[in-house]
Structure formats: structure tokens, C-alpha cells
Structure 1
Amino acid sequence: MKKFDKDRVILAIGAPLLALVAALVITSGVIGVTGKDPFHAFYVMLDFGIKSDSQVWIINKAIPYYLAAVAVAIGFRMNLFNIGVDGQYRIAAFCAAVLGGALTLPGFVQIPLILLVAMAVGAVWSGIAGLLKTNRGVSEVVTTIMLNFIAASTIGYFLQDGRLAVKDGNLFHTPDIPASSHFFTIPTTPDPIDGTLILAVVTGAAYWFVLGRTRFGFDLRAVGRSESAASASGVSVKRMVVTSMVLSGLVAGLVGMPTLLNKSFNYGTDFPAGIGFTGIAIALLGRNHPIGMALGALLWGFLERTGTQLEFEEYAQEIVGVMQGVIVLCVVIAYEVVRRYGLRMQQRQVGEQLAKQARKREKKAEVSA
């Protein structure tokens, strides 16, 4: 049985508590500068956010955010910055939508096929950056940014009438996926919860198990901590870099599935963009932990939902964006401050133990003499 470590528990609680207090203080100051009452703003957000329709909206909104955060976190654990999740999920959703709209198969066949195609396309698109990094030394940040632009341009070329899209008013979109291939919903009042919530839960569980409970996950984290040490222990660094990028892209391919299979049922010019960049913020907010990222995704959805209500109360519409940025910065800074404090505390404890042992040896030497 592990010994209870009081100092470790205090540090674990202190970091999020410090971040919460700092975020509230800074946000209150920003709202106060605009001439508005910050406490009334918090009351409005809380009152509107706990309504049943808001809760369903927040959960549905958090699903793709969580998937994007997991995709980013896989790279972070490997010390890689996959900034291309946005392009990966968009090109994956587009290819999956084209396939889904072209086929009319039973749902139990077509839905897994759509998911597999999305994951495969995302994995290939991200794997390009991994191969370029290991074979040519090109930074994954540069390549994934460029691949974002290539993905957007590719989609723009094919998403035209007469190519792979049809015109619907002012919009262009791929042919609709048949009703038999729509993902199920979870009945709730007043609106249903998207069934792709199950997909997010399974993805989070797989992320936790593979990275935290397997030899592969240990090797991946070891390479992220120290490539030279991992290489000396027999781990192929190049293989782990490519594999982690492929896995990150594979999960990124699922980011567009909640929208495609539960809402739009096609890929059009109004398909959500920017979720990949939101995933970066949520991965930082959740400290790459599956539960932390889930809470971060829900918080992000809560802020977006309640921010619309603040506008009706004549608060500046930019307040929500400021809140989101402040929260992420406070979390990152607070955890770093607590980490450094904990490190100094450990160093002091080790120093005290060494000094105590040295005094004991001196006493023994005196007795022997």
C-alpha cells in the first residue's frame, strides 16, 4: 500500500486552485475595466449555463473539442507539436463525406466504413509530417501548417458544382449521407445528445490505456522526455516519431465525425473550421490528461454557450475570448509555478536528509575514535 504523501496532494490541489483564483481575479478586472459588473456577468453565465437545453448544447459542443484535444495531446506526450489537426480533420471529414454520399449500404456497414476512411485519411495526412521530420529533419510545426493550407485548397478545388459537390442555394456540399448511415442519438429533454459522445469516451479510454498502461506508451513518453536516453535503451526514436504522428492524425480524423454523422450529414462550405486550434488550447488546459481535457472541453463549451447570453446583457462580445485566453494562460503558469515550487521543496528535503546522514556518520566516527 502506497504511503500517503501530504505534500503531493497539496501541490496537486494547489495548482488548479491557484489557476482558478487567478483567472477569476484577472477576468473580473478585465470586465470591470469595461465598466460592467463582473459578478453579475458570472451570475448570468451560471444561471444560463445550468439550464437543461444549455447542458445538452455544451455536451454536444464538447465532443469534437475533446477529440481534437486528444489528437493534440498524443503529439504533446511525444514532445511533438501537431498544429495540423485542423487540416487533418477537415480533409478526413471531406473524404469520408464523399464516400458516405456515394454509397448506399446498411448502416452497420457504412458507418464503420466512414469512420475507418476518416481515420485513415487523417493518419496519412499527419504521417507525411512525421516522415519529413525523421527523414529530412523538417520541423513538424512547419509541415503541419503547410499541410493545413494544402488540405483547405484541395477541399476548395473539389467542393464545387460538377466535381464532388452539389449547389444548394449559396452553399456547396457533398451529396447527403443516406439516413440509414446517420449516427444514433441519446434521447434527453429537451434535445438529444449526439451518439458520437460514445466515440469520444472510447477514444479517451484508449488514449489513457495505450499511453499510460502499455509498453508502447512508456516508450512514447520516454522518447518525449529524452530521445538520447530512449535510444540508448533500445527504442527506435524515428519509428516512435512517425507512429505518434500517425496516431495523432488517426484521432484527428474523428474530430469531424460528430458534425458529419450527427448534424450536417454532408461536408459543405459551412462545415466547422478551427476546431483543431481549439483542441490545442484544451489540451494545454487539461494538461494532456483524459479527464482534464474532458473538463476543459466542457468548460470551453460552457463559455461559448453562456457568452451569447452576455451579449444580450450588453457585455462586450470579446469578453468570452478574453476569458478563454486568460484561463489557459493561468492554468499553464499556475502549474509551472507549482512544479518549480515542488521541485525546490524536494531538493530541500533531499538536502536535509543528506545532511542528517552526514551528521550520523560524523557521530559514529567520533564514537569509533
Structure 2
Amino acid sequence: MSGLKRKFGVQTVLSALAAPALALVAAFVLSSAVIAATGKDPFHAFYVMIDFGSKSDSQVWIINKAIPYYLSAAAVAIGFRMNLFNIGVDGQYRVAAFFAAVVGGALSLPGILQIPVIILTAMAVGAVWAGIAGVLKTTRGVSEVITTIMLNSIAGSLIGYFLAEDRLAVKDGNLFHTPDIPAGSHFFTLPTNPDPIYGTVVIAAVIGLAYWFVLGRTRFGFDLRAVGRSESAAAASGVSVRRMVVTSMLLSGAVAGLVGMPTLLNKSFSYGTDFPTGVGFTGIAIALLGRNHPVGMALAALLWGFLERTGIQLEFEEYAQEIIGVMQGIIVLCVVIAYEVVRRQVLRRQQREVGEELSARASGGPGADAGAADAGADGGSEDPGTEEKAGATA
């Protein structure tokens, strides 16, 4: 079977390259068709985007914009790996950022202490807010999709109630915001020209590494993915499905709580009525685009930032402002469809080739001789019953 394994290994590599290549070509063709339908030159549009996006100030802007997008995608991806749809990241990061800003504005500790307090507060609030959906799902069977959508609305109402001058906010002109975080508790920046890169990019990198290690290299990550594949099989192997559901929602919410930190600690230093919203929903698209892989989501977040940045320049070139939104949707759909098409093709080809090899062995053809040679080369040190056990297991 070693020849078959080598063949499958090559096919796996080819399929991994085929899916993104197919998605790229399809997205380019469809986007060009949409731009051309508006009466504009698609090739000039792509030239403008590449030229403007390659400027140093645009690159810094794209990186800073990608940080919260990546954190949001990681929060969503944790749920996806568990077969949970945490659509409430938007509410979780907003309520987490609000209370973290309140705590940060009320304390006057040294920055080395206050910054961790602010970050931990955000993670704790986000985890609790997401944990509500996890508890309701495991105790009452309520879908996490419905619960998290409802919690988004509740989060907005809760923030609106406390974001008042006589409660937890101060008035600054026509805006209400929490007290400013002291200058000594601002997060560091990376000195780049003409604008600095937010130091919270380090937080995003740490989360990416933790996501890769915990979900891919630990027993907990294996159990989490096992529950996502089949709850009944995971339960039969001794995994507590309820505990894993709640834990996954808590982890997803904790990461969601970090989404607002780049804005809070590197830009606004308070939570106000102009605090960015909608990042949680963008994270869903980026997680799908990145296939829930830490590197893939990072590239998708940068691509999203690139499209938003260059879309500004396209408007100056008199292209329709909706073009970028359409392109983003096309890219996500092309990636999802391309990977599914390639996956089905690979599965059918593997099933056919396995069937052909098994038929060749049964009929004593060339495949049988190759299989026997492989067995002789690979199994010389095995006990006589190993082959029979392997056949029974298969």
C-alpha cells in the first residue's frame, strides 16, 4: 500500500494548490466581469489598487486594520472547529471593550500592571458574554446562533445605557465616551514611517500561535475537533460534550474580547459612540476565507484590509463605491465553492483508485504483486498475526 500512500500524498499537495488557484482565477474573472458591467476598465482598477496598496502608508494602514479582523476571525474559527456558529463576536468584543475601557479609565496603576488588567478584563467579559450562549445550549438546547444574535442586541443596549454622562461616560462635544486611559497605559507602537504599526499586532501573533498549538497539538484540541466531527463518537470515547461546548464558547468569547484592544489601546484610548462596530461579522467572512487556519486567516485579514484601503482610491477614480463590497463577497464565495469542488473531486478519485487497487489484488493482477512486495518490504519485522489483524481492522 505504500505506492497508494505516496500517490495520495502527491494528490493531497496538488489539491491544496488547486483549490486556491481555482478560487483566485474565478474571483478575478467574476470581479472583472462586475467592474466591466459598470462601464469601467477592470484592468485599470486592478492597477490602481496594486499601485495604491504598495505605498508605505497604505501598508501600515492595512496591517493595523488587519489586527482586529484577524482576532475576530480567530474567535469565530474556534467555534467553527467545534461545529459551533458564534455569530455574537460583534457584541462580545464591544461589551468587552466598553468595560475594559471603564476599568482602564478608573485606575491609575503603572502601565506594566494596568495594561494586563485592561486586557484580562476584556477577555473575562468577552468569555462571560459568550459563555451565556454555551450554557443555554447545553442546559436548554437553545441554538447558539439564536442566542448570540440576541446577545448582540442586548450588548448594544447595555452599552447605550451606561454610555451616558451621569453613569460611566463623560461628554466631549457631541460625543460620549468613557474616561480616557492614562498615557502611561497606552500600548506600544512599532516605529514605522509615516505612521506607526500598532503594537497589538503582537497580541494577534500570540493568539495565532496559541490557536495553532492548542487546537492542533494538544489533547484538548483533539477532543474539541472530535466533538465537532461527531458528538456521539466523542461521547463514546469519554469526552464530555457539554463541557467542551461551554469551554469552546468561553475560549471564543475570550479571544473576541481582544478584538477591540487595537482601537482601545493604540488609537482611541476610550470607548465612545464612535467606537467601530461590525468587526465581528467581518471575522466570519475572514474565517471562511482563511479556512480556519491561522496563516490562512492572517492572509485573509490582510487581503480584506487591502481591499478596503484601495477601495478608497477607486472612488477617487470614479468607480462605484459598492465595487469593493461585491469583490469581497465574490472572493469568499469563490474560496468556499472552490475548496468544496476540489474536495469532492479528490474524494471521488481516491475512492475510485482504492477500488481499482483492491480489485487488482482480488484478481491477482499487477496490483497484487506490488502490494505483496510492499508488504514484504514494510512488514518484515512484524509478527505473523499482524497482517491478519490489519486486514480485520480495515
TM-score of Structure 1 vs Structure 2, range by shorter chain: over 0.9
Instruction: Find the partner of 1:25 among 26, 29, 33.
Output: 29
2:311 equivalent in structure 1: 307
2:41 equivalent in structure 1: 37
2:193 equivalent in structure 1: 189
2:105 is aligned with what amino acid?
G
User: Aligned to 2:171, what secondary structure does the other structure show?
Assistant: strand
1:321 is aligned with what amino acid?
G
Q: Within the alignment, does 1:229 sit opposite 2:229 as a pair?
A: no
Structure 1 unaligned regions, length at least 5: 365-369
User: Aligned to 2:364, what secondary structure does the other structure show?
Assistant: helix
Q: Within the alignment, does 1:337 sit opposite 2:344 as a pair?
A: no
User: Aligned to 1:35, what secondary structure does the other structure show?
Assistant: coil
Query: How far apart are residue 3 of structure 1 and its match?
Result: 5.0
1:167 equivalent in structure 2: 171
Q: Within the alignment, does 1:144 sit opposite 2:155 as a pair?
A: no
Q: Within the alignment, does 1:88 sit opposite 2:95 as a pair?
A: no
1:210 equivalent in structure 2: 214
1:38 is aligned with what amino acid?
P
Superposed CA offset, 1:303-355 (max 9, x none): 00000000000000000000000000000000000000010011011111110
Whole-Å separation in 2 of the counterparts to 1:171 and 1:334: 46
User: Aligned to 2:275, what secondary structure does the other structure show?
Assistant: coil
Structure 2 unaligned regions, length at least 5: 369-394
Deviates more, 1:92-101 or 1:160-169: 160-169
Query: How far apart are residue 23 of structure 1 and its match?
Result: 0.2
Q: Within the alignment, does 1:258 sit opposite 2:262 as a pair?
A: yes
Q: Within the alignment, does 1:318 sit opposite 2:322 as a pair?
A: yes
Instruction: Find the partner of 2:331 among 318, 327, 332.
Output: 327
Whole-Å separation in 2 of the counterparts to 1:342 and 1:217: 26
Superposed CA offset, 1:156-204 (max 9, x none): 0000111111111111000000000000000011111000000000000
Q: Which aligned segments of 4 or more residues in structure 1 are displaced greater than 4 angstroms?
A: 1-4
Whole-Å separation in 1 of the counterparts to 2:350 and 2:138: 37
Whole-Å separation in 2 of the counterparts to 1:7 and 1:174: 56
User: Aligned to 2:187, what secondary structure does the other structure show?
Assistant: coil
1:350 equivalent in structure 2: 354
1:303 is aligned with what amino acid?
L
Instruction: Find the partner of 1:241 among 235, 242, 245.
Output: 245
Whole-Å separation in 2 of the counterparts to 1:180 and 1:197: 19
Count of aligned residue pairs for this structure pair: 364
Instruction: Find the partner of 1:279 among 277, 283, 287.
Output: 283
Whole-Å separation in 2 of the counterparts to 1:220 and 1:3: 30
Whole-Å separation in 1 of the counterparts to 2:136 and 2:45: 48
- Alignment RMSD: 1.5
User: Aligned to 1:167, what secondary structure does the other structure show?
Assistant: strand
Whole-Å separation in 1 of the counterparts to 2:139 and 2:166: 39
User: TM-score scaled to structure 2, two decimals?
Assistant: 0.91
Which one has a bigger Cα radius of gyration? 2
Whole-Å separation in 1 of the counterparts to 2:111 and 2:206: 20
Instruction: Find the partner of 2:80 among 44, 57, 76.
Output: 76
Q: Within the alignment, does 1:293 sit opposite 2:310 as a pair?
A: no
User: Aligned to 1:125, what secondary structure does the other structure show?
Assistant: helix
Query: How far apart are residue 214 of structure 1 and its match?
Result: 0.0
1:194 is aligned with what amino acid?
Y
1:115 equivalent in structure 2: 119
2:201 is aligned with what amino acid?
L
Instruction: Find the partner of 1:63 among 47, 61, 67.
Output: 67
Identity of aligned residues (%): 79
